Structure 1
Amino acid sequence: MNSLSPEGRPFAELYDVAMHYGGLDGTLALENLNMTVNRGELVAVVGPSGCGKSTLMRLMSGLWLPTDGGVIIDGKEVDQPLSIVGMAFQNPTLLPWRTILDNVMLPLEVATGHRSRLRAHKAEYVAKAQELLELVGLGGFGAKLPHQLSGGMQQRASLCRALIHEPALLMLDEPFAALDIFTREDLWSVLQNVWMARRPTVMLVTHDLREAVYLADRVVVMSSRPGRVIAEHIVPFPRPRRREDTFSPEFNGLVHELREAIEVARGQHENPEGVEHAA
């Protein structure tokens, strides 16, 4: 169940966020963006291409700072990269000379709080990494090199790597976009199982509306650039969700609602004078 922080606040808050590229006279990527994410919630962010979804991820992780407004994570204003964040991207970017187990354990070598105790407690961390690999269906593959695994298996390992240091916030930027539809749907179930077992707070950026509805507790729709939140949809379907659920009228009805919201956002971008007149 989703919950607020002990202080009664959402786990993540973005208020009046604006982001320019290249200084104040540069491209305005985000403007007046307001959004909250509760602790343990899985939120999907969708919107037209170029709406600032990946920019939002970088701001929430502290890799970038907003031009205006602010980002609060776990009650603290973000002013530097956060060690409590795990990230996985469209490409798994595993180091080709390291085994899958060693790739999964890589964040422990740099993460504050783990780096100092890794040598003395290595067996404990290896056991944790192997447990994660088992959870995503890669038990027994820890000694393999990345080129010995399929793309889908590499992405599973990338998910383990993002989770190994037990991040409070998991950021997933189009993690399955490069995979074929069958592998992608398999990994939806893998991610759902991991989330149900571990309950991290998750922010998922995706262009796949079926993926968003299958995985998320709530789907946030962003406008065209400059990006802002224009709609939110609660996903009412119980978990665990199954692949056959994606064929139900209710599931496809919500996907259609999201598609319509994005089409409106694209139309506003293409015909701003018409929208302004209508307003």
Structure 2
Amino acid sequence: MAAPFLQIDGVAMRYGGVEGTLALSGTSLDVAEGEFVAVVGPSGCGKSTLMRLVTGLWPPTEGTVIVDGREVAGPLSIAGMAFQNPTLLPWRSILDNVMLPLEVVQPHRRELRAKRGSYERHARALLRLVGLEGFEAKFPWQLSGGMQQRASLCRALVHDPRLLMLDEPFGALDVFTREDLWDVLQDVWLAKKPTVVLVTHDLKEAVYLSDRVLIMSARPGRIIAERRVPYPRPRRLDLTYEAGFQAIVHELRDRISDARRAVEASDAP
């Protein structure tokens, strides 16, 4: 049996020294290569902290994070990231924003001058895949929030990352735009098959997009349960109205509510 692509073993993260806030404690999980996993839980449970540990932006206080057989000791070049806010550079065109990782991540950085034509064709193909063909020369302020988030997704994918980490990428969007981008992300995943970890508060989003939903406890966060999603792909939005789909969403909501109540009870005088 192949080793998991992503392994988190007994990870803890404390901010502010020994008396600081314990965000994660005893957190362990495995993710197979090419799997799409969603992480949900109460606010403040450490979901975003977990993402930063996996991508090497922060070192854990305890435990190990292993990606592709190697312990993470710094920022990962094989990872792409997208966040709730697109953070596109306003002075760069959409095409130039998408190509930004190629100027930073090796080996693309040293090959960019020689391979610029092929890299640009790749970036344009990604923009076409997410419905932004014809907007390459526009600037971020000329695009809607949903269009900017599409461009942000392309930027996360342009260097062909094997691991895609998504931190509430659609949380700031209206419900119609958000659901539209679910299908965009699903199509990109089906085309590219990276390993994806999606951090989200939206339980319907988690069930619609993922193979498996991991549930975190309240702070200090750890994985307390998982729920496999039985639906084949491609999935369409009509699925979200089916009784079985809604039952899974309610099951997840109940598990998170139970976790919150347990913490409130333990904090009571």
TM-score (norm 2): 0.98
Q: Which residue of 2 aligns with 1:233?
A: 227
Q: CA RMSD in A?
A: 0.9
Structure 1 residues not aligned, in runs of 5+ = 275-279
Structure 2 residues not aligned, in runs of 5+ = none
> Does the alignment pair 1:168 with 2:162?
yes
> Does the alignment pair 1:248 with 2:236?
no
Deviation for aligned residue 1:273: 6.7
State the secondary structure of the residue aligned to 2:27: strand
Q: Which residue of 1 aligns with 2:190?
A: 196
Q: Which residue of 2 aligns with 1:16?
A: 10
Over residues 102-149 of structure 1, what are the superposed CA-to-partner deviations in whole Å (9 max), with x where a residue is unaligned? 000000000010000101110000000000000000011101111111
Aligned match of 2:74 in 68, 76, 80? 80
State how far apart, in whole Å, the 1-side matches of 2:33 and 2:22 are.
Answer: 30
Identity among equivalent positions (%) equals 66
> Does the alignment pair 1:258 with 2:252?
yes
What is the one-letter code of the residue matched to 1:222? M
> Does the alignment pair 1:179 with 2:157?
no
Q: Which residue of 2 aligns with 1:223?
A: 217
**How many residues of Structure 1 are paired with residues of Structure 2 in the alignment?**
268
> Does the alignment pair 1:141 with 2:135?
yes
State the secondary structure of the residue aligned to 1:16: strand
State how far apart, in whole Å, the 2-side matches of 1:269 and 1:52 are.
Answer: 15
> Does the alignment pair 1:50 with 2:44?
yes
> Does the alignment pair 1:95 with 2:89?
yes
What is the one-letter code of the residue matched to 1:31? S
State how far apart, in whole Å, the 1-side matches of 2:66 and 2:113 are.
Answer: 33
State how far apart, in whole Å, the 2-side matches of 1:18 and 1:160 are.
Answer: 32
Q: Which residue of 1 aligns with 2:266?
A: 272
State how far apart, in whole Å, the 2-side matches of 1:41 and 1:166 are.
Answer: 16
State how far apart, in whole Å, the 1-side matches of 2:17 and 2:75 are.
Answer: 20
Q: Which residue of 2 aligns with 1:158?
A: 152
Runs of at least 4 residues of structure 1 off by over 6 A?
none
What is the one-letter code of the residue matched to 2:66? I
State how far apart, in whole Å, the 1-side matches of 2:227 and 2:209 are.
Answer: 13
TM-score (norm 1): 0.95
